[in-house]
Amino acid sequence: MINRVILIVLDSVGIGELPDAALYKDQGSNTLSNIAAKMKNFSLPNMEELGLGIIEGVKNIKPCISAKGSFGRCNEESKGKDTVTGHWEIAGVALEKPLSTFPNGFPKNVIEEFEKRIGKKTLGNVVASGTQIIEELGYEHVNTGYPIVYTSADSVFQIAAHEDVIPLDELYKMCKIARELLTGEITIGRVIARPFVGEEGKYTRTSNRHDYALDPFNKTMLDYIYQQELEVAAVGKIKDIYNNKGISKSVSIQNNMDGVDKTIGYIKEASKGLIFTNLVDFDMLYGHRNDVEGYGKALMEFDRRLPEIYSTMKDEDLLILTADHGCDPTTASTDHSREYIPLLVYGKNIKSGINLGTRMSFSDIGKTILEVLNIKNELRGKSFYNLISKEE
């Protein structure tokens, strides 16, 4: 009855603090509800119609009387609150030990070893936003040729460099060196190339970003699907997050709307398996910059595209909307937040109006997708397909 799943991750659209949020200093975080409370004329009619406003813990979103989708929320089983951790758990890999983070910068011995391997000194080694760090250190970088190293609350080692000072090939080589270095006792989730261009006071980051992730620690939902010779089409940074494991084909995107366009393009193709999309603008452009207005407008912009997605879907398609963590722009923090993620499910061949409740793991999503596609597996998680299936 269903031979393809379209899984769209609205990056950082959390829906309320998890029970252990205090351990992460995220009390009071509720990305979606707090945005809705702050903005005027905010509405998400199409997601509301799916049941968004009647998910437990969601506030300030209009509830529907009869949902055309099924709805619920997922608890994060893993330790952590970053992109890799969230996406891996969706695909069935939960982390008992969080990936390494460095709120005070990287240890001296790590930086010295990195400098030794690349043959250059570095600048920075601080926690900073990407736009802030190139404004502060861009001039010195241009004049010395030293790459800028920085991190965030996530498990990331980021290297910024002006494309006219350190060519892309050289920057990418530095990232590969860092990737080799940052495993084992210190395991970083992603090494990220952050190229920029322009002149002092007018530096801008380019679209030539490249992520160097880790292989997932166990077999994922993607691996199971791929090994059945079904297609796994990745849109956005999905390819980077899973280090290209279990992926048939992928496409990069310029922004959220380009991501929707590319997703619709894949839907129009005659394929079976999984289309897996990440829409990163919510997190990258608005959550981390505490831009409530921008975040809210981006949500409404995505919501307006849902009817177009519906009209492109085939009868045998299933759509799942979710997130990977929170990033509440209304709080003082600019970091990710430890939150429940939404679960909205829609398709012509499933039941509507089913409350899926609070799922105990993000992995329930991956487990369900494999059952929908009739793939035997040993993935962690508990499928909710029995709740939405029309099969007797």
Q: Compute the CA torsion angle 302, 303, 307, 308 (nearest 10 deg).
A: -10
Is pLDDT above 80 for 87? yes
d(CA 67, CA 53): 10
State pLDDT tens for residues 186-235: 889 999 999 999 999 899 999 898 889 899 999 999 999 999 999 999 99
Q: Retrieve residue 44's tokens.
A: 């998400």
- Helix, strand, coil percentages in the chain from 3-state DSSP, rounded to 5: 35, 20, 45
State pLDDT tens for residues 281-306: 999 899 999 999 999 999 999 999 99
Mean of all residue pLDDT scores within the chain? 95
Neighbours of 216 (CB within 10 A): 21
State pLDDT tens for residues 101-146: 898 999 999 999 999 999 999 999 999 988 889 999 999 999 999 9
Q: Retrieve residue 25's tokens.
A: 């200093």
Residue with tokens 């997130």: 323
In order of their start, the domains of the chain are 4-95+217-388 (3.40.720.10), 108-212 (3.30.70.1250)
**H helix intervals, the chain:** 31-38, 45-50, 83-90, 108-118, 130-144, 168-181, 221-227, 238-241, 256-268, 281, 292-312, 363-372, 385-388
What's the pTM value of the predicted model, to 2 decimals? 0.91
Neighbours of 260 (CB within 10 A): 22
Q: Retrieve residue 135's tokens.
A: 């404004």
Picking from 4, 63, 46, the residue whose alpha carbon sits closest to that of residue 228 is 4
